[in-house]
Amino acid sequence: TQLLEQSPQFLSIQEGENLTVYCNSSSVFSSLQWYRQEPGEGPVLLVTVVTGGEVKKLKRLTFQFGDARKDSSLHITAAQPGDTGLYLCAGVNNAGNMLTFGGGTRLMVKP
């Protein structure tokens, strides 16, 4: 089983602060995805990173895939209360038919 560890598990910050969430594994993934889940809903895909070293930006969110394709990070600049939610990373196996999820980071942004 390929394992993904996310850190921190919980993060509570003030509006306007920056933060970084990490997703680490000892396994190599063909690609890595980041999802956000709001209460009472299923996770929704934010981004997929495919190439080692790849950086993708989605407004104030910056996603990076490690050079070795084993880890990833999500950086949020000037966090807003609307960013509150559970952030999940998920690795795609080499066969391309299975997603393995990390434990998630629960983010709360206080106004």
Partner 1 sequence: DVKVTQSSRYLVKRTGEKVFLECVQDMDHENMFWYRQDPGLGLRLIYFSYDVKMKEKGDIPEGYSVSREKKERFSLILESASTNQTSMYLCASSPRATRAYFGPGTRLTVL
Candidates 11, 49, 90, 107; binder of partner 1 (CB under 8 A) is 90
Three-point CA angle 77, 82, 88, nearest 5° = 75
d(CA 30, CA 96): 8
- Shortest reach from residue 33's CB to partner 1, in Å: 7
**C-alpha distance from residue 65 to each of 13, 54, 59, 73 (Å):** 24, 5, 17, 7
Per rule CB under 8 A, is residue 82 in the interface with partner 1?
A: no
Per rule CB under 8 A, is residue 51 in the interface with partner 1?
A: no
Place of tokens 């407004």: 59
Q: Which is nearer to partner 1, 8 or 16 (CB)?
A: 8
Per rule CB under 8 A, is residue 99 in the interface with partner 1?
A: yes
Candidates 59, 82, 97, 111; binder of partner 1 (CB under 8 A) is 97
Contact 69, 89 (CB under 8 A): no
**Which residues are at the interface with partner 1 (CB under 8 A)?**
1, 6, 9, 33, 35, 40-45, 48, 88, 90, 92-93, 96-104
